């Protein structure tokens, strides 16, 4: 669908319209009384969200690439239908193909409470994808208001069950990594990628004094990013998610990545909601699975 056709069919007066960053990269720009946001049709990727009168919620690298087939460093990439490396095929892309695949608009809505909603789906899953042979459909519903609410729903349209891995790989803007910590995972077990995926138990809040790459399993708890520099707490409240990933690449790995930007690691922290490793979801024929996350902020008085 062309840019003109998208605006004719799905634009919402004074709330949502479509804009091309390049010939092959279209975004939905949303602005209402509560917040502003931008969503890329490639990857169903939320690039920005900022509530009125507040600092931006999401971080995007100054060196992020906005081009067809390229993943964007920042915002909310969708990891689907697997998380991390593929279980059997080393040549398949990490975190699945959804984040670099074109999504199509299903509907847009200006809701009675003043919030704005956009729903997207991947075009080519119904009869299977070359990287994902299971007949299925996937839809993301993004609601922009006082909070940012995201739902990722996968339906099995085939005749056989499949195992699903997924995550919303959310990059949060923070004042400085030295000012931030994560609360809500005390007592949870985690797999530590930095230490060869060895299993450990969390004690207290999570500080970021070096590279952190952990998958916390069997947890449905809310998490709070405590940012003492911005004097705010970011609340991550999730449903139907049993895994939480906490990630910051730190200095050496950030330098090798090439698209994190100068000192970008100091300004970002990923707290990801999903189902991975111990918490893969089995979706039976005809059934569906819905992952839902609400992001909000609150004053920090510590």
Q: Which residues are catalytic?
A: 169, 272
Question: Measured between alpha carbons, how far is 59 from 174 in angstroms, rounded to an integer?
Answer: 8
Question: Measured between alpha carbons, how far is 30 from 27 in angstroms, rounded to an integer?
Answer: 10
CA 237 to chain centre: 13
| Closest to 146 in 3D by CA, of 241, 29, 36 | 36
- Token representation of residue 298: 């609150």
- Percent of the chain as helix, strand, coil, to the nearest 5: 10, 45, 45
- Token representation of residue 250: 């730190």
In the block, tokens 């995972």 appear at 185
Name 206's bridge partners: 182
- Cβ neighbours of residue 193 under 8 Å, at least 6 residues apart? 213, 214, 215
Angle, vertex CA 220, rays to CA 284 and CA 236, nearest 5: 115
3-state secondary structure (DSSP) of residue 302 = coil
Residues 164, 152 contacting (CB under 8 angstroms): no
Residues 34, 52 contacting (CB under 8 angstroms): yes
> Phi and psi of 131, rounded to 5°?
-95, -10
């Amino acid at each position: 669908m062309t840019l003109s056709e998208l605006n004719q069919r799905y634009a919402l007066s004074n709330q949502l319209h479509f804009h091309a960053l390049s010939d092959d990269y279209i975004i939905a720009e949303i602005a209402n009384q509560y917040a502003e946001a931008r969503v890329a049709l490639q990857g169903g990727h939320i690039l920005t969200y900022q509530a009125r009168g507040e600092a931006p919620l999401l971080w995007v690298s100054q060196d992020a690439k906005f081009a067809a087939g390229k993943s964007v460093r920042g915002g909310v990439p969708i990891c689907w239908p697997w998380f991390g490396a593929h279980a059997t095929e080393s040549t398949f892309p990490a975190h699945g193909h959804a984040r670099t695949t074109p999504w199509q608009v299903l509907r847009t809505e200006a809701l009675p409470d003043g919030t704005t909603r956009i729903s997207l789906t991947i075009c080519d899953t119904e009869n299977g994808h070359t990287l994902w042979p299971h007949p299925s459909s996937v839809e993301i519903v993004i609601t922009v208001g006082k909070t940012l609410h995201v739902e990722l729903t996968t339906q099995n349209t085939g005749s056989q069950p499949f195992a699903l891995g997924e995550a919303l790989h959310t990059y949060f803007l923070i004042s400085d990594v030295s000012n931030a910590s994560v609360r809500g995972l005390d007592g949870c077990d985690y797999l530590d990628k930095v230490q060869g995926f060895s299993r450990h138990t969390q004690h207290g809040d999570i500080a970021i004094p070096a590279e952190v790459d952990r998958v916390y399993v069997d947890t449905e708890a809310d998490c709070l990013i405590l940012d003492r520099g911005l004097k705010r707490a970011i609340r991550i409240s999730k449903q139907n998610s049993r895994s939480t990933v906490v990630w910051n690449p730190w200095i050496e790995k950030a330098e090798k990545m090439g698209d994190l930007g100068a000192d970008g690691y100091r300004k970002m922290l990923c707290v990801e909601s999903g189902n991975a490793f111990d918490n893969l979801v089995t979706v039976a024929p005809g059934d569906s699975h819905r992952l839902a996350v609400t992001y909000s902020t609150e004053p920090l008085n510590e």
